[in-house]
Each structure stands twice: as structure tokens, then as C-alpha cells.
Copies of this chain bind each other. A is one copy, B any other.
Amino acid sequence: MENSFTEENYLKAIYKLSRRTNGGVSTNALAERMDTKASSVTDMLKRLSSKKLVDYQKYQGVTLTDKGLKVAVDIIRKHRLWEVFLVEHLGFGEHEVHDVAEQMEHVSSPLLVERLDKFLNHPKYDPHGGPIPDADGKFPAPTRVKLDELPVGKQSKVLGVTEHSDSFLAYLKKVGLDLGQQFTLIDRHDFDRSVDLLLNGEPLHVSHEVARHIFVSN
């Protein structure tokens, strides 16, 4: 009935990797993400499988069961709620919260989570713009899209990012694409999938590599 921190971290990693690949998650992908060895992953997948948290058969990759999915989403809920708390109430910077939340997400108390959620006024997004699932595991309706998928002519604003490296965030700051910044998408170039924006009356050219990491409203 109890999942270890390690098990919880694996489940979350499987969840995140499976969002971007169809079919099962590979042992190597998981090893890379968990910063461990493939052999350790294999061991863990057997353990998770015996606890009915994942569907796993050797050489075929792994997927979450309903039970495993529930656990993974609950960890994500806790992680993101704590990030909101740290930023909004303790004055943490956005880039300072992740490692702490990585620990807090494992505190086990349903009462705590629901009271924290209420205290925070049931936030729908974390400080990075990540959506926060509710107590039933449902994510907020996606009122957002990646910048590289926004239709031409649309007015929009920056809601979040999926890449948190210092260099990326510094770049966004430099060109003015801060969180909440409004803009209009005025053109799209198919040959390199780059886009042209208009923000504060100034034109801005954004590469696909950058655009695909930015969440915007739609």
C-alpha cells in the first residue's frame, strides 16, 4: 500500500515520457531520465509490475496501468501545488522551486494536499505554466497551445515554457517574451517552421526550436 520515493519518481518519469511517445516507454529512455543504469530500470520495472502499477513484458517497453497513472498524476499534482506555494507565499524564484518540490511531492497526506490546494485557491497552473490536475486527476481544459502551433493572425500571450534551462530563460527575457507578455502572430515560415510576432509594436522573429518550448493562450 506504500510506494517508495523511488517508485514514485519512476512512475512520474514513465508518465512524462509516455506523453511524447506512442507505445511503451523504453528501458534506455527511462535510464537516461532517471540518471541510472538500464539494468536498474529493468529491476524496478519488475517490481512496479508485480505491484500492478505498470504493464511490462521484457523487451516490449512499459506503460502505466490505471492504478499507476493515478499515482503518477497525484505526484504531479503535489509537485505543482508546492511550487505554487513556494513562489506565491515564500517568495521563491521560479527557477529555485523545482528541486524542493521534487522532495515535497513525496509527503503523503491526502488531507494536506486538499488543504494546501484550498489555501492556494485551487490554482490551475504552476509557476512554469504547467497544468495542475484536480483531486480526481483531471487536468484543466487546455486553453493553451505551443507557440509553433498557434494560427496566423491570432493575438495571444505567453503562459509558460517546457524548457527550463538558464540559457533558454535568459534568451526569452532578452527578447521580451516574459510570462504574461501579449503579442500577435503575424506570419509563419514553412521552410524552417519559424514564426514572426509583433509585440509592443516591434516585430520579433522566433525559431521553431524556441517556439516549440513556449506555451501560449489560444
Residue numbers of A with Cβ under 8 A of B are 86, 89-92, 96, 99-100, 103-104, 107-109, 111-112, 115-116, 119
* Copies of this chain: 2
In the complex the two chains form, is B115's CB within 8 Å of A90's CB?
yes
In the complex the two chains form, is B119's CB within 8 Å of A109's CB?
no
Secondary structure call for the A interface = helix
Q: How far is the CB of A83 from chain B (nearest CB, A)?
A: 12
Contact of A111 among B96, B104, B119 (CB under 8 A): B96
In the complex the two chains form, is A100's CB within 8 Å of B90's CB?
no
Q: How far is the CB of A179 from chain B (nearest CB, A)?
A: 21
* A112 to B, closest residue via Cβ: B100
A112, B91: Cα distance in complex, Å: 10
* A116 to B, closest residue via Cβ: B90
